[in-house]
Amino acid sequence: MKKIVVAIDGFSSCGKSTMAKQLAKQVGYIYVDTGAMYRAVGLFGLQNGIITKNNIDEQKLAEKIYNLKIYFKNINGVQHVFLNDVDVESKIRTLETGDAASRVSAVAFVRKALVAQQQKMGENKGVVLDGRDIGTVVFPDAELKIFVTASAEVRAQRRFDELVQKGENPDYEEVLKNITERDYRDTHRVESPLRQASDALLLDNSFLTKEQQYKKILEWFKYKTQ
């Protein structure tokens, strides 16, 4: 079976990472959660006063970005992201860090640095990456490109349920607002805006169960690797 690059792009909170992880595990590929890398940079910015409510100190961030050590490690079967050798997996999953990630992801030099790392991670193929620009910028020649979408309301409800499960006490309207703001920023930024690559397969999972969705992806994967 031929080894390929699988690029999964789409809006936030539409289940990209769940399906990417599941596929990578089943077919024995490496999984790269590129959103986690932007989140790690966002967290670094928040922790070091580089990102504040109304500002990003781009000069300071530019000085630091190439020295940031961001990598993944498997801990008891779960992939965790490390920032400068500290496990930040749970810290990067908050709304605040998601927001900071969305803001730093619009900065050209941040994207340049992370894209280069992602391309290195996938240079030998046999990799599933999920993000916003994988099929358009990181691996424009990926053999299988999937663009995932679902309505903002469905995604907000999923995110809300996730936060409740984590013991947080979210406000649905706030979660929905956060999602629509991120959608707007992700699709309107100048640098690599989120868009469907012309050769990407569209997957709207608003009304699909996880099983139905996974069956579809697996069929596409088998077709592309034959």
Pick the piece of the chain touching ligand DC (CB under 6 A) from 34-42, 50-58, 167-175, 196-204.
34-42
Among 4, 6, 7, 12, indicate the residue that binds ligand DC (CB under 6 A): 12
* Residue among 123 and 219 whose Cβ is closer to ligand DC: 123
Among 133, 148, 159, 221, indicate the residue that binds ligand DC (CB under 6 A): 133
Contacts of 79 (CB under 8 A, 6+ apart): 21, 31, 33, 72, 73
Contacts of 186 (CB under 8 A, 6+ apart): 11, 12, 102, 105, 132, 193, 194
Question: Which of left, alpha, beta for 41 (phi over 0: left; psi -120 to 50: alpha)?
Answer: alpha
Residue 39 in the binding site for ligand DC (CB under 6 A): yes
Q: What is the phi/psi pair of residue 39, to 5°?
A: -65, -40
Residue 159 in the binding site for ligand DC (CB under 6 A): no
Contacts of 55 (CB under 8 A, 6+ apart): none
Residue 183 in the binding site for ligand DC (CB under 6 A): no
How many residues are present in the chain? 226
In the complex, minimum distance from the CB of residue 105 to ligand DC, in angstroms, rounded to a whole number: 3
Residue 97 in the binding site for ligand DC (CB under 6 A): no
* Residue among 98 and 122 whose Cβ is closer to ligand DC: 98
Among 5, 6, 22, 38, indicate the residue that binds ligand DC (CB under 6 A): 38
In angstroms, the CA 211 to CA 3 distance is: 24
Residue 135 in the binding site for ligand DC (CB under 6 A): no
